[in-house]
Amino acid sequence: MPGIEVPKEKWSGKVREVTLGATAAEGGTRSRTVTVGGETTLPFLKFEGEIPHPPAIALEVRDQQPNDWPSILLEAWNGATQDVAEWAKAAEAAGADLVALRFNASEQLNAAYARKILRRVLSATGLPLIVFGAGQADLDNEILVAVAEEGKGERLVLGVCEEKNYRTIVAAALAHGHLVDARTPMDVNLSKQLTILIHDMGMPLERIITDPTTGALGYGIEYGYSVMERLRIAALQGDTMTQQPMLVTPGEEAWRTKEARAAEGVPAAWGDYVERAINWEVLTASTLIQSGADIVVLRHPKSLQRVRAMINALMS
Amino acid sequence: MALTGLQIYKLLPASSTKPEVKAHANCKECGYPTCLAFAMKLAAKQAELSLCPYVEEESKRQLEESAAPPIRLITIAGSAKKLEVGNELVLYRHEKTFYHPPGLFVRVKDTQPDAAQVAEAVAAYSVDYVGMSLTLDGVAVEAAGGDFASTVAAVKAACPFPLILMTSDPATAEAGLKAAQGTMPLLWAADAQNWQAMAKLAAQYKVPLVVLANGDLNALADLAEQVKNAGVEDIVLDPGTRGYADSLAIFTQLRRLALKKNERKVGYPLIAFAGDDATLAAQHIAKYAGFIVLDRFDPAMVYPLIVLRANLFTDPQKPIQVLPGVYEINKPGPSDPLMITTNFSITYFSVANEVESSGLPGWLLVADAEGMSVLTAWAAGKFDAERIAKTVKTTGIEQKINHKRLIIPGHVAVLLGEIEEELPGWEINVGPREAVDLPNYLKTRWG
Amino acid sequence: MVEVPTGTLIVEAVHQAGLDLNIPCGGQGRCGRCAVIVDNRRAVRSRSELRLSQEDLAAGYVLACQTVLEGDVTVTIPPQEKIERRLVTDRTATRVTLPFSYDPKRDQPMQLVPLTIDPPTMDDQTDDWSRLKRAMALNYGISDLTIDLATLRKLGTTLREADWSVTAVVELDTWDRPNGPARLVDLIAGQNVAHLWGAAVDVGTTTVSLYLVDLLRGEVVARAAEYNAQIKRGEDVISRIIYASRNGNLQEMQALVVDTINEVLERACGRAGIRPWEIYKMTVAGNSTMIHLLLGLPANSIRLEPFITTINQPPPVQAAQLGIAIHPQAHVDCLPGVASYVGADIPAGVLGSQMCDSKSVALFLDIGTNGEMVLGDCDWLVSCACSAGPAFEGAGVRDGMRATVGAIEEVWINGQTYEPTYRVIPDPQLEAQGKPTLPKGICGSGLISLLAEMFVTGVVDKAGNLNFDLGSPRIRYGEHGPEYVVAWGNETAHGRDIVITKVDIDNLIRAKAAIYAGFTVMARSVGIDLSTVERVLVGGSFGQYVNVEKAIQIGLLPDLPWEKFHFLGNTSLKGALFALLNREFRRHLTTIAQKMTYLELSADNTFYEAFTSALFLPHTDLSHFPSVAEILAARRTTQSSHFIQGGRPDVHHR
C-alpha cells in the first residue's frame, strides 16, 4: 500500500521582513534590533515553509501611570508604573522584545512634553520602540511629528495611522526614517486599502506594519482572528499589499473587558480573578499569534512569560 | 469533492436531456423557485437532495458522492447529554464556518479518591455568555491501577455527560464498558498492539474507538484502516502528539488530507490532550481538535476556553454585529450627549471612532437592528421609532443621564415625529447624516 | 391665498393652494429641495433645519415638509425649486427594429374582424349576441367568443345603427389564457377600419415612457416621455413604499402614475392624430414597486424581510379599472417580474436584448437608483438587485441635478494645473442665439466623469480623499468639509460655486461599489469568472449617457475590452413593445421570469465583503483593473519626469 504523503501547500508569497529599531552602527541608539516577518507559510508550519523570526512581544508603558488600569495590573509592575523610564526598564527586565510607549490624553501633552518623554524612554531601555499617540487625531499629529524628529534614525514604529488620519504621521515617518503602524477596523479590504494609500505616499512597504485590530476574547476575537488569517493567506498567495507583518494589541483589548477588571460581583463560574484575568490576556494573544500576529502588545509581565513559553515551544 | 451550484445544476432536471425528466424543470416541488436556486442551496448544504424526486439515478450517485462528509460525524452520549463532532468542511473558519465545537473533557484517574466529586463539578459547571448557557462536555476516566469499573460507575452516576474511557488493556476496557452501559462512551485507545481486541470491543459495545499512533501519519492511517476493516465505523484519531509544534503540524496535515485530498483513511475527528495548559488547549480549539482532554478542572481556565470555543465556532457569514446596549465614550457624565445608532459593527465603529477621537465624552446607544447599517435597517423596518424607543427604555440609559435629549442619525430624520410620540417628554435632535460630521455637530449644537 | 388649520405642514398648504412643490425625499426632511421663504418666522415651527445654512435661515428659508403653520404667513416658492421638466425623448418616432418578422395574423392576439350579420326577422328571432357569435363562428371559426357587460350594453344600438355591418375588435387570447376564449373588446360601425392601435409603456421610478404602436403593421408611430409624477412623493422606491403605506396614500400614488401615463398617452396620440380610447391594448413594464403602485396593491411587504410581492405575474386588467384613458375594456397587461427587487423591466430587458438566445455568458446591467442585474446564457439565468442610491441620477449630491438643461454632463481636468473644463447640456434657445448655457449643477454622467478625472489626475486619492498638497485653490474646506470647485460662481447660472464635496464623493463611491459588488457576488455565487463574460449589456436610461471608459476608471463597470459593452437604451420599453406585438415573445417572457433564479444579496455578508473591497478607486484589488493600472503607472512616470508638455497624459484614446 502506498504511503500517505504529507500534504504541503505551495505558497508563492512571503511575508515582508521588517526591522524595528536601529543600533549605533545603523544610525540609532538601540542595543539591538528586532526583525519580524519573512514567513513563507502559515504560523509555525515548519514542515512546509520558513519561519525565520519568532513573533515579537512588546510591553506597553505609559508616560504617566494610567488611572484606568485595574490594580492587579499596576501591582504586577511593583511601582515601576510611577515613572516612564523605570517602567521601560522593568519591561526590558521582564523579557520584552519591544517597548510600546503610549501617551495618555492629558492637559500637559504637547510636542515638547512628548519629546522629553521619548528621550527618557530611549535612554532607559535599549529595546526598539513603538510609539502610540493618545488616540486623538489633532493631538497625535502634533506629538508624533515631534516624536519622529526627536527620535530621528531610531526606526521607531509610529502609530496609529488610520484611513481618516494618516498623511501627517506618514510624512513625518518618511522624513525621519521611521516605520508606521497602519490600523484599520477588522476588515481585510480596509487594511489593504490603507496599505495602498500609505504606499502611494512613497512609504516603502518594508516600513509599514499592518494593524488589523482585534476584539478581546469574548468580545469579537473571532473577527480579528479571521481577518488576520485571511490577510496572511492572501500574503502567502502573493498579494503584495497584504504582505506586511501584523501587529495587534491584545493587552489593551483584554484588560478592557469585565473579565479582566471585575474582582467581585461576578459569577463563581468565572473562577479566580487574577488567574482568569491573566488567562484572558494570554488566550487573546496566543490565539491571535496562531492566526498570524507578528507583534503582540501586552500589559502584564506574567502574560508575557506564558506567551513566550508558547512561542518557544512552537518555534522549537 | 464539493460541487459548485452551477455544476449541481447540470445534474438536475432543468439540464436533463431526457424529455420526461426535463418536464420537471423548475417545477418548484422542492420548495425552491428554480432548479438553479435548489442547486445553490445544495451546494451550500442548506437543502437535501431527497427533496427532488426527479433526479436521474446517475446524477443522484454523483451528487451523493460529492456530498459525503469528508470527516465522519461521531456521536457519543452520557445518560442525559450527547456530543457530536466531525463533519467539518473547511480549514479556515472564514471559508464557511466551523460546525461542531470540540468537546471539552476533564480527566480523572481511577486512583483518584475524589473522581466522582470532580465529575459532579464538571456536570454542575455552567456559565452564561451573551445569553447562552455554556458547559463542559464530559469526563475522561483513566485506568491508572485503581478500580476502573467502579470509578466509571461512580462518574457515570455523578455526571450525565458523555465519558471517555482511557485504557490500553482490553480487559479493563470491557469492565469499563460494562460499567458505562446505558451510555455511549468513547473508548481510548486502540494501538499497534491491542487493536484487534479493542476493535472487537468497540464493535460489540457499539462505541466509537480512538486509534492511537505515535506521531506517524502513515502508522495512524494504516491502523485506522485495519480497525475499520475489523468492523468499527466510528473512529477518532489520536496522533499521539502532546506538545505545541508537533500537534499543530500533524493536526493540520490530517485536516488537510481529509478535506483537500479527500483521504478517507483519515477522515475522522481528532482527540487532543492539553494537560493543564490553557494555551495549548486554546491551540487545539483553533486548530482542529474534536475532543480536548484537560487534566484539571479550574473555572479560571475553563471559562476563557469555553468562551474562545464559542467565539471561533460562530458563523462568520453572518453580518458582523456589536452587542446592542449602552457604550460609554471618553468617560461621559450624566449631562453629556446621548446618540443612537445601529448594531452593524462598521456603523458602530465609524460613529464610536469619530466621537472617541474628537475627545468629546458621550453616550452611544446601540439598537438591535439585526446587524444592518442605518439606511438599510430603516428601509427594512429594523430601525424604526418603536425600536429606537425600546432601546432607550430597556438599556437603563435613563438612570445614567440627567437629561432627555437624544441625537438620531440624520438619515432617519423622517422618524422624528414618531419617536417624539413613542418617547413622551424627550427632545429628539436630528444629528448629521455622516459620522464624520458628528464631532462638529456635538461642539456646535450640543449645550 | 389659502386657509388651513393651525399645525398644517407648509407643503400641504401649498398643495391645497394648487401649487406644485417638489419633495424628492418624500417629505422626510432629508433632501432640502422643498426650501421655501416665509415672511414671518414666528408664525411657523420647524422640527428640522437640516440642509439649510445659517444664511438660508437668516433669509427666511424653511423646509416646507418639516415646518407647520401657526399663524398668518406669506410663503414664497423660489423659482429654481419648480420641478424641472425635460422630455427624455420628445420627437416623433424613429424606426424601432423588431427582433422578429411581424405577421399580425400569426403573432397578434388582437384582431379586427369585419362582420356582415343577417338582420333579425320574425322567422329568425335569435338574440343579437347569438347572432353576432353565429356570424363570427361561421366566417372565422371563432366559436368561444365572450363579452363584457359594458360592451353588451351598446351591442344592440351599434348593430342597428351600423345596419348590421360592423368590425369586431377581438382579443383571441391572453398570456394566462393561451387557448382563449376570445373576447369581444369593442364593436365598431362599418367595415372600413384601417387601424388597430396599441401602446407599450415603461413605468420607471423616474421616467414614464410610451410607444404608440400600429398593431396591423407592427410599427411605432409616436413616442412620448414624462417624469413620473410620484417623484414628488419620494425619489427612490423605498421612500415611495413608505409614503404609500401611510393611510390613504396608496390611492394617491396610484392616481399619480396613472395621471402621468394618461399625459404621455395624450401627447403621443396628439402627434399621431388619434384619440386615446382608440387604443385596444397596453403592455406595461416596470419594477415590482412601480407595478404594485400602478395596480393599487400594497407594497410594504416588498421592503420588509423576507421581501415578498403580492404578485409577480399579474393577470391582465381592464383599463377602466385602473383609470387609464385607453378604451375602457382594453386589457392592460403588466409584464411578469421575478422578485421584489427584480421587476418586469428585467425579464423584458433580458428578452429584448436576446441574451438568453446564446450559449455564451452575458451580463445584463440595469443601472439606476435600484441596480438590477442578470447573468446567464440560454441554459440558466440568475438575477439580483442592489440599492445604489440616487447619486447616478444626480440626487443626494450637493450640486447634483437631473440630466436637464444646465447640467454639467462631462468634465475634464488638467493634470498639471488641476483646472477643469466642462460641457453643459445646452438650452436650445440660447444655442440658437449662439449664447452659452451657464451650468446649474452636475448630472449623473457628469459626476462619473468628474470623479474619474479627479482620480486619474490625483485630485483625489484611491479612497476619494482630496489631496490638499496639490495647492490648487479649487481644493478647499467648505461648509461640509473638503470639496473641489468645478465652476466658480461667476461662471454659473445662479452665481454660486458648483462643487463636489467629500461627502458627495463618498456617495458616488458607495453607489458604484454597490453595483460592482452586486454583479461580482452574483458571478461568484454561480462560479463564473467575469473575464469569461462575452457581452456586457447595459440598459436603463443611464446607459444612453454613460462614458464606458470613465465608468471603468472609477470601478463601476468591469475592466473588459470595450467591444464587449453594448448600450441598449431603454430595454424595458422595448420589452413592452415586443410583448405587445408578439404573443410568443409574451409567453417566453413568463417562462423567463419563472426560470430566472433570484439571489437575495442581503442573505449573507459576502455582498458586504465585495462591497467594501469595491469602496476604493477603482477597487482594492487593482489587478482586476489592468487598464486603469496602466493609466496610473503612466501618470506616475509623466508626473515624475520633467518632460511635461502641458496637458495630461493621453488616457482618453487608448
- Domain of residue A28, CATH code: 3.20.20.20
Of C90 and A127, the structure prediction assigns the larger pLDDT to: A127
B37 has a chain C CB within 8 A of its CB: yes
DSSP 8-state code for residue C326: S
Residues B246 and B155 in one domain: yes
Q: Burial letters for B375-403: b for 16+ Cβ neighbours within 10 Å, e otherwise? A: bbbbbbbbbbbebbbebbeebebeeebee
In tens, the pLDDT along C605-619 reads: 688 889 889 999 999
Residue A81 falls inside a structural domain: yes
Among A241, A235, A248, A260, smallest CA distance to A286 is for A248
- The order of strands in the sheet holding A295-298 is A208-211, A179-183, A157-161, A129-132, A98-102, A56-62, A295-298, A247-248
Q: Is C615's Cβ below 8 Å from some Cβ in A? A: yes
Assigned domain for B129 exists:
yes
Q: Are residues B419 and B336 in the same domain?
A: yes
pLDDT value for B355: 87
CA gap B18, B402 in Å, rounded: 75
What is residue A258's three-state secondary structure? helix
Chain A residues close to C621, C-beta within 8 Å: 192, 239
% of chain B at pLDDT higher than 90: 67
User: What distance in Å separates residue B297's CA from the closest CA in chain A?
Assistant: 10
Pairwise CA distance, residues B445 & B247, whole Å: 59
| Residue C377, all three cell numbers | 446564457
Q: Which of A186, A187, A193 has the highest number of chain C CBs within 10 A, making it the mutation to test binding with C? A: A193
Q: In chain A, how many domains are there?
A: 1
Break chain C into its structural domains and give their ranges: 10-81, 84-334, 347-389+509-624, 392-497
> pLDDT truncated to tens, each residue of chain A (316 aa)?
568 899 999 999 999 999 999 999 999 999 999 999 999 999 999 999 999 999 999 999 999 999 889 999 999 999 999 999 999 999 999 999 999 999 998 889 999 999 999 999 999 999 999 999 998 888 999 999 999 999 999 999 999 999 888 999 999 999 999 999 999 988 899 999 999 999 999 999 999 999 999 889 988 899 899 999 999 999 999 999 999 999 999 999 999 888 998 898 889 999 999 999 999 999 999 999 999 999 999 999 999 999 999 999 999 9
What pLDDT, on a 0 to 100 scale, did the predictor assign at position C91?
29
Residue C644 has pLDDT above 60, yes or no: no
**pLDDT at C385 (0 to 100):** 86
Q: Say which CATH number the domain at B271 has.
A: 3.20.20.20
Question: How far from the centroid of its chain's Cα atoms is residue C98's Cα?
Answer: 22
SS3 of residue A181 by DSSP: strand
Does C257 have pLDDT greater than 90?
A: yes
Q: How far apart are CA C292 and CA C283, in angstroms?
A: 15
Q: What is the CATH number of domain C84-334?
A: 3.30.420.480
Q: Is residue B156 located within the same domain as residue B299?
A: yes
B246: nearest CA partner in chain A: A314
pLDDT the model gives residue C32? 62
Q: DSSP letters along B406-421, please?
A: EEE-GGGGGGHHHHHH
From chain A, the residues in CB contact with B304 under 8 A are: 217-218, 259, 276, 279-280, 283
Residues B284, B165 share a domain: yes
Least confident of A129-138, A256-265, B191-200, C81-90: C81-90
Could you tell me which chains touch chain A, where touching means 3 or more CB pairs under 8 A? B, C
| Domain shared by B109 and B189, yes or no | yes
Distance between CA atoms of residues C557 and A294, nearest Å: 38
Cα C404 from Cα C410, distance rounded (Å): 13
Query: With contacts defined as CB-CB under 8 Å, which chain A residues touch B126?
Result: 269
Residue C35 sits at the vertex; the CA angle it makes with B447 and C394, to the nearest 5 degrees, is 105
Chain B residue with the nearest C-alpha to that of A165: B357
Of A105, A185, A269, the CB nearest to B349: A185
Residues of A in contact with B253 (CB under 8 A): 6-7, 47
pLDDT for position C86: 28
Instruction: With beta carbons under 8 A apart, name residues in chain A contacting B436.
Output: 164
Most A CBs within 10 Å, among B97, B242, B283, B331, to test the A interface? B283
Q: Are B125 and B301 in contact (CB under 8 A)?
A: no
| AA identity, residue B447 | G
CATH number for B12? 1.10.15.40
Q: Which residues of chain B make contact with C606, given a CB cutoff of 8 A?
A: 317
pLDDT in tens, B227-275: 999 999 999 999 999 999 999 999 999 999 999 988 999 999 999 999 9
**C266: Cβ contacts below 8 Å, ≥ 6 apart:** C276, C325
pLDDT at C353 (0 to 100): 72
CATH architecture of the domain with residue range C347-389+509-624: 2-Layer Sandwich (3.30)
Residue C566 above 90 pLDDT? no
| Yes or no, beta carbons of C481 and B5 under 8 Å apart | no
Predicted confidence band of residue C89 (pLDDT cuts 50, 70, 90) = very low
pLDDT at C643 over 50: no
The Cα–Cα gap between C317 and C283 comes to 11
Give the pLDDT band (50/70/90) at residue C602. Answer: low
**Range of the structural domain that residue A233 is part of:** 18-315
User: Which residues in chain C are closer than 8 Å to B316, comparing Cβ atoms?
Assistant: 605
Q: Give per-residue pLDDT as tens, C199-211.
A: 999 998 878 889 9
Q: Where among B17, B36, B67 does a domain terminate?
A: B67
Q: Indicate whether B385 pLDDT > 60.
A: yes
Joined grid coordinates for residue C227: 417624469
Whether residue B320 lies inside any domain: the answer is no
CA distance C385 to C518: 7
Looking at residue C79, its pLDDT comes to: 56
> In angstroms, what separates the C-alpha of B238 from chain A's closest C-alpha?
17
Q: Which residue matches cell numbers 439580483?
A: C384
Say if A275 falls within a structural domain.
Answer: yes
Domain membership of residue B82 as a residue range: 74-312
Count CB pairs under 8 A between chains B and C. Answer: 87
Nearest-neighbour CA in chain C from A243: distance (Å): 14
The answer to whether the beta carbons of residues C365 and C475 sit under 8 Å apart is: no
Bond prior to C618 in cis (omega within 30° of 0): yes
Count the Cβ atoms, other than its own, within 10 Å of residue C628.
23
Exposed/middle/buried for residue C563 (C-beta within 10 Å: 0-12, 13-18, 19+):
exposed
C157 three-state secondary structure: helix
| Preceding amide of C181 cis, omega within 30 | yes
CB B127 within 8 A of CB A269: yes
- The continuous run of DSSP H or E covering C614 comes out as helix C606-614
| The predicted structure's pLDDT at residue C652 | 31
Is B93 part of the contact surface with chain A (CB cutoff 8 Å)? Answer: yes
pLDDT band at B321 (very low <50, low <70, confident <90, very high): confident
Region C508-528: mean pLDDT is: 91
- pLDDT tens track for B58-102: 899 888 887 778 899 999 999 999 999 999 999 999 988 999 999
A contacts of B260 (beta carbons < 8 Å):
7
Long-range contacts of residues C119-123, Cβ cutoff 8 Å, at least 24 apart: C119/C164
Residue A8 lies in a domain: no
Average pLDDT value over all residues in chain C? 85
CA distance C484 to C116: 75
Q: pLDDT value at position C25?
A: 42
Pick the CATH number of C10-81 from 3.10.20.30, 3.20.190.10, 3.40.50.1980, 3.40.50.970: 3.10.20.30
**Nearest CA distance, B214 vs chain A (angstrom):** 16
Say whether residue C616 is in contact with chain A using an 8 A CB cutoff: yes
Q: Which of A64-78, B346-360, C494-508 has the lowest mean pLDDT?
A: B346-360
C84 pLDDT tier (thresholds 50, 70, 90): very low
Q: According to the model, what pLDDT value does residue C54 have? A: 67
CATH number at residue B361: 3.40.50.11600
Cβ B410–C50 below 8 Å, yes or no? Answer: yes
DSSP state of C41: G
Any chain C CB within 8 A of the CB of B9? yes
Smallest Cβ distance to A197: which of C461, C612, C622?
C461
User: Is any Cβ of chain C less than 8 angstroms from the Cβ of A229?
Assistant: no
d(CA C230, CA C618): 35
- Residue in C closest to B9 by C-alpha: C380
CATH topology of C84-334 equal to that of C347-389+509-624? yes
Tens of pLDDT, residue by residue over B419-429, are: 998 999 999 99
A196:C462 CB<8 A: yes
What's the number of domains chain B is made of?
A: 3
- B211 and B282, same domain (yes or no): yes
Q: Is C338 on the interface with A (CB under 8 A)?
A: no
* Residues with Cβ within 8 Å of residue C3, at least 6 apart in sequence: none
Residue C645 has what pLDDT?
33
Let me know how many helices (H) and strands (E) chain C has, helices first: 19, 27
Q: Pick C460 or C354 by higher pLDDT.
A: C460
Higher pLDDT, C595 or A96: A96
Distance from CA of A235 to the nearest CA of C (A): 13
The mean-pLDDT minimum among A257-266, C346-355, C536-545 falls in C536-545
Rounded average pLDDT over C398-419: 86
Using the beta-carbon criterion (under 8 Å), do C29 and B416 form an inter-chain contact?
yes
Task: List, for residues B129-184, the tens digit of each pLDDT value.
Answer: 877 899 999 999 999 999 999 999 999 999 999 999 999 999 999 999 999 999 99
Contact C87, C226 (CB under 8 A): yes
Q: In this predicted structure, what is the pLDDT of residue C366? A: 84
The helix/strand/coil state of B52 is: coil
CB-CB under 8 Å, C527 with B6: yes
A165 near C465, Cβ under 8 Å? no
